[in-house]
Amino acid sequence: FFFFMSDLVVRLVPVSPDLLGFDMVTISESDQDKELILGRGKLTGIQDVKVSRKQVYVTFHAPNPDTGETAFLAITVKGGKPSYIFRNANKAETIEVLPSCQAKVFHNDLLYLLRDKFAYRFEVVDAAAAESEAGPPRKKRRTDLNGERSLTELELLQQEHEKLKASSAKQIRTLSTRIQVLQDNTIDLETSLEKVEKKNLALERNIIKLQKQIKTLKALEAKEKSKYNTLKTLYDSSASTVHNVPSPQTVPTKRRRGRPSLASKRSRDFSEDDSDKDSEELLKEEKLIEADLEMEDSSEDDELTDTRVAELEQHQIGESWVDRAGQTCRWVSPGEFTDGINKFYTSVLIDKRCFSIGDAVYVFSPHGSDSYIGKILCLYQTPLNKRRVQIQWFYNQNELLSSPKLSQRDFKQHQPERKELFGSSIVDTNDVGVLDKHCIIKAANVENLEEIVSWSKSASGRFFYQKYYDNKTNTFPTDGPSLPAKFSYPEGSLEALKI
């Protein structure tokens, strides 16, 4: 829109992509004091129904030399939606003009009829400069009810560029928002997955403990049932013997504090001395059996006292951590070794149990079955803060019997003893959280085999081995295999680093 005065040209130049193809309209000097209506209609060429027909009323005010006030447009919003002024003078700012409100538009300000739509730039220039900018006749671009409208090639390219720029910025904002949402969802899923894994590991350990308790209760039940049957048999035999005695004078007085022998079932013509002797021997034998059962049911108590735990924590290296099962773990060692990548330690303290290099241990089974048995070769921490333990595994007899490579007949030819294990060359690494508790494994040979077997039967958690099982050749050599250890500690360092 042009407002012509004697030496000034006032114009509103369409600059937004949605006004592509619209040119400026010339208004005579006599109309400069009248209100100009900008909205949907023939004057602007806007057909969007979101724009009111009387969106903005515009009145031009010429510069006042007396007060020094520059030229400006006084606008009044009459439509139902607000208009906006983008002012890029000393400080860029956007002014919202609400319905029925007024505002001023100065030189080079942008007037948006709606938010981010239908923008005009207000310019006040000299008439001579405006004529020189007109240049040669422009190519005709569009014809409508207002007559011919034309744009130069440069203006067309600028408007296309603005349109593409606005579209690209909108797409970038949309994609950035979606990426942020996906990243947040991924973090939430990883956190939930980690919590579920911790709960599953805790449940597996609880199941293992319950299975062990059930097994122990069944063994106690069988033992009590056996004792009950034995006592019932003795009671029945005693009652039958007393019933067949001819007179009270012939009843032995010692029978009140002793129980009749099982031999009374075979013959009731025994003397008083034989009855008392058999009862005493039977009671003695029962006590030995009960003591043996109690020793067999006992386990190695490897939980440390609070005082001992406090002493070990004085040698703690680094910060403690909590594994997936909720156990508090920390490295305890007077020093640490490194191979240039990993850091190696001599001991790890898990709750109240301390596991060190060379210890024989029970290892949790991930399938909820009986625990595995192995020997700790090294303890280390990776650059990614993974706490690992390297273990040499030992086979028990049930594992070998269930192997498809080894037949039961071939295995029994070796005549394995009870609680006998078989060494192996299988070595792998696991998280230190798989360590359960300690056990004892001793090496046996022909000379001390009988002594070692008796020692292993005296309590739970005691095992021995005298052969190795080679799963590749299905043989049982007596010579130990070479173990691929993760780290070789310097000679004498294990004794120096023991706590």
pTM: 0.42
**In the chain, % of residues over pLDDT 90:** 27
Write the CB contacts of 77 (distance below 8 Å, at least 6 apart in sequence).
55, 56, 83, 97, 98, 99, 100, 101
pLDDT tens by residue, 378-435: 999 999 999 999 999 999 888 888 877 777 777 777 778 888 898 988 899 999 999 9
pLDDT tens by residue, 245-263: 444 444 333 333 333 333 3
What mean pLDDT do residues 306-335 have? 89
At 106 the three-state DSSP class reads: coil
Q: Residue 103: its pLDDT value, please?
A: 94
Question: What CA–CA distance (Å, rounded) separates 397 from 344?
Answer: 33
Question: What CA–CA distance (Å, rounded) separates 476 from 224?
Answer: 40
58-62: Cβ within 8 A, 24+ apart: 58/12, 59/33, 59/34, 59/35, 60/3, 60/10, 60/32, 60/33, 60/36, 62/5, 62/8, 62/32
Best mean pLDDT range from 266-275, 343-352, 479-488? 343-352
Q: Residue 399: its pLDDT value, please?
A: 83
Cα 432 to the center of its chain, rounded Å? 17
The per-residue pLDDT of the chain, averaged, comes to: 77
Cα 126 to the center of its chain, rounded Å? 70
Q: Residue 136: its pLDDT value, please?
A: 45
Question: What CA–CA distance (Å, rounded) separates 162 from 16?
Answer: 7
How many residues in the chain?
499
Q: Residue 407: its pLDDT value, please?
A: 74
CB of 414 closer than 8 Å to CB of 476:
yes
Q: Which residue has the tokens 């009829």?
A: 113
HSE-CB of 298 using CA atoms within 13 angstroms: 13
DSSP string covering 108-164: T-EEEEETTEEEEEEEEEEHHHHHHHH-SPPPEEEEETTEEEE--HHHHHHHHHHHH
- pLDDT band at residue 458 using 50, 70 and 90 as cut-offs: confident
CB of 392 closer than 8 Å to CB of 375:
yes
CB of 119 closer than 8 Å to CB of 110:
yes
Residue 331 in tokens? 């490295």
CB of 389 closer than 8 Å to CB of 376:
yes
* 229, containing H or E segment: helix 153-243
- pLDDT band at residue 214 using 50, 70 and 90 as cut-offs: very high
Question: What CA–CA distance (Å, rounded) separates 46 from 136?
Answer: 27
CA dist 102 → 12, 83, 108 (Å): 18, 10, 18
Question: What CA–CA distance (Å, rounded) separates 225 from 154?
Answer: 105
Q: Please tell me which residue, 363 or 297, carries the higher pLDDT value.
A: 363
pLDDT tens by residue, 79-105: 999 999 998 777 778 899 999 999 999
* 38, containing H or E segment: strand 36-38
* 223, containing H or E segment: helix 153-243
CB of 431 closer than 8 Å to CB of 387:
yes
CA dist 169 → 17, 163, 172, 174, 175 (Å): 14, 10, 5, 9, 10
Write the CB contacts of 449 (distance below 8 Å, at least 6 apart in sequence).
417, 466
Q: What is the phi-psi region of residue 189: left when phi exceeds 0, alpha when psi lies from -120 to 50, beta otherwise?
A: alpha
Question: What CA–CA distance (Å, rounded) separates 307 from 352?
Answer: 11
Backbone phi, then psi, for 145, in 5-degree steps? -65, -25
